[in-house]
Each structure stands twice: as C-alpha cells, then as structure tokens.
Amino acid sequence: MADTQRNQFNTILNAIPDIMVLVDEQLRILSVNAAWGHLAREHRSEEKWFRPIELPYFEACKAIGVGDEKFAGDVEQALREIISGARDEFEIEYPCHTPAEPRYYLLRISAIPAENGRAALCAHVDITRRKLAEMELHRETRKLREQSLTDPLTNLRNRRALELIGKQYWSNAQRRGGVLAVVFFDLDKFKPINDNFGHQEGDRVLCYIADYLRKTFRESDVIARVGGDEFVVLAWMATEQDLEKIKARLNTRHSMTTATGDKYEVGMSVGYAVHDPKAEGDLLSLISRADTAMYADKKGREG
C-alpha cells in the first residue's frame, strides 16, 4: 500500500466512530483508528497501547478493555481463516465488562488486500446500550409472562399456567412412566365467611389455604388456584398407590380466628383422579374427573 493510499485509508478509519484495527497474517497490528486511542486513554492503558503498531492484536485488545482470554479463544481461528482466504468474514457479539460498568461489543472481521496478500479489518462496535435494552426487555417480558401465569392474590399458578405446565407434565410422564394425579379442592361454605367477616377475611383464608398447600405438596407439584375458592394440584407419582400418601397427609379442616377474635372453621371438599398418560385421555379430562369426585365429596359432607 503506497503512502498516499495508506494516508487515505487512515483518514477513512479515523472518521469511523467504532474501534477499527487492521491486522496482518502474524496477528500483529498494522493500523488503528482514533477511536482506539480514545478508548486506550479512557481505560488508562500503558502509553504503548495508544497506537500499538506491530504489537500482538489480542494483547492490545486486552490492554484497552475490548477483549480477554475467552475473546481470543473465540476469535483467533476465524481471524486466521480470514487472513488465509479460507473465509471472507466473521461476526460475533461478546461481553467485555469493566469494573465500573458492563460493556458489550460486536466484532466484525472482513478481509482486505494487503501488500503481501491479505489482512483483516476488525471493527469493534460498542453495542452496550442495545444489549442492556434487550436484556431489560427480556426481563420485562419474562415478568409479564410470569404475571400472566400467576394468581395475583395467592401467588399460586392460575388456570392458564396449570394447563400449559400440565401438558408438559403429561408429555414427561409418557416418556418417564409413572402416573399423574389431580387433586381438586373446593372450600366449604366460603360465601358465609365473606358475608359475615368481609372480603378481606375471605382473601386471608384463600392465602392461608394456598400456603397450606405449598407446605403439604412437593415443590415439583403444580399448585394452582383455578377459581374463586377452587384449587388444583397436579402431581406426578411413581405408582397409583402413592396417592394414599397424599390422602394421609391432607388436613381438610382448619381453625381460623379473625382479627377481632371471632373463631370459625374452614373445610375443604376434595376430589382425586389418577391417570396413566400412556393410556388414552388428556389433562382436561383428568381435571374434570377430579372435579366430579370433589363435588361427590362435598355432597357427602352436606348430606
């Protein structure tokens, strides 16, 4: 490259706001632009890294904070292939955080002609703002999705979540074996609690039952509030006999006291249904069977 062409090339590089580096076949630096020097000063690097001509590319990147050992491992092979002619371009996003703040870069490498063959032009584009915005959007999306699957009063799963997660449980049980059990709960005479003590007390009862179900069942079980005073638990079991263990540990009557000292009892009608997912059927039918069994239990209690 003649001096005039080299000067023109450097002028173009210096006009680019991104960090631009020209690398030779020995992976040594032929040229850097002004943005490189600005970042080197900001990073308080040694002065030799401000314009590191003929110094190793990856060492220089590490010195000014746009690369580390992992970055070198991810990029070196592609860089050599571009310079050798085995490929024409390469692109990768990578983190390179500083003690003061997180930073993310997009590296684009392309081949350009050089005096003795080919060189690689490496563009380090700061994409920190974009990545942080994407991460925040992802967090908000997950938060909204979680809210859409959660009952706001009890923080249990809601009906939609029960159906979505339940389908996964069904598929897993088909592969792993075992059986699925649905336990359907409905509070007895819940309306008089609201009528006599107010809806705030009714909400307290629902939260109490939700906590009781969390303590009673396993973390792997799906516990959902599916209606005003209706709860459903979906549990995978090794055998149908494990259902007896569930029944044995359930307490269907709970003594409650209001803030003013009034005492009352909360009862639960319970229905059970068990199904081998390898047999014909589906989750909604299983829930419906447990619902029917619960109403039979309620009728027996009232009768």
Active site residues: 229
Structure tokens at 255: 């003594």
Burial zone of 114 (CB within 10 Å; 0-12 exposed, 13-18 middle, 19+ buried): middle
**How is residue 100 written in tokens?**
């003061």
Q: Residue 43 to residues 31, 46, 93, 145, 278: CA-CA distances in angstroms?
A: 19, 9, 20, 40, 62
Instruction: Read off the tokens for 9.
Output: 């090339």
Q: Which residue has the tokens 């220089």?
A: 60
